[in-house]
Amino acid sequence: EIVLTQSPATLSLSPGERATLSCRVSQSIDIYLAWYQQKPGQAPRLLIYDTSNRATGIPARFSGSGSGTDFTLTISSLEPEDFAIYYCQQRTNWPRTFGQGTKVEIK
């Protein structure tokens, strides 16, 4: 099973600041990684797929990069609605697996 390790566990930032979230994978998954956002009481929402493609309706302040085993989600300038938990997910191998999440909280 491919293991995804997200860091940091918590990121404390102010609105307007840049957020950089990391997802490291236990073996190469090429570019087949997605990022989701989850707010309390809600289901996850797909933000980015295949490392760098924004899903429909996702603002341009969200961007993804990386390949192989190291991936990054960047939020260029945090909006109040961006404070949430972010998860990465791989689709290269079965079972599909998720990271444990990074919480972006208001500083």
Partner 1 sequence: EVQLVETGGGLIQPGGSLRLSCSASGFAVSSKAMSWVRQSPVKGLEWLSIIYIGGSTNYADSVKGRFTISRDTSKNTVFLQMNSLRVEDTAVYYCAKDCTDGGCSNFFDSWGQGTVVTVSS
The CB-of-101 to partner 1 minimum distance in angstroms stands at 7
- Say whether residue 64 binds partner 1 (CB under 8 A): no
Q: Partners of 26 in the beta sheet? A: none
Q: How far is CA 35 from CA 38, 54, 98, in A?
A: 10, 9, 9
d(CA 49, CA 91): 10
- Say whether residue 34 binds partner 1 (CB under 8 A): yes
d(CA 64, CA 48): 7
| One of 9, 14, 16, 56 touching partner 1 (CB under 8 A) | 56
- Say whether residue 96 binds partner 1 (CB under 8 A): yes
- Say whether residue 13 binds partner 1 (CB under 8 A): no
Strand arrangement, sheet containing 4-7: 4-7, 19-25, 70-75, 62-67
The CB-of-15 to partner 1 minimum distance in angstroms stands at 27
Binding site for partner 1 (CB under 8 A): 32, 34, 36, 42-46, 49-50, 53, 55-56, 87, 89, 91, 94-101
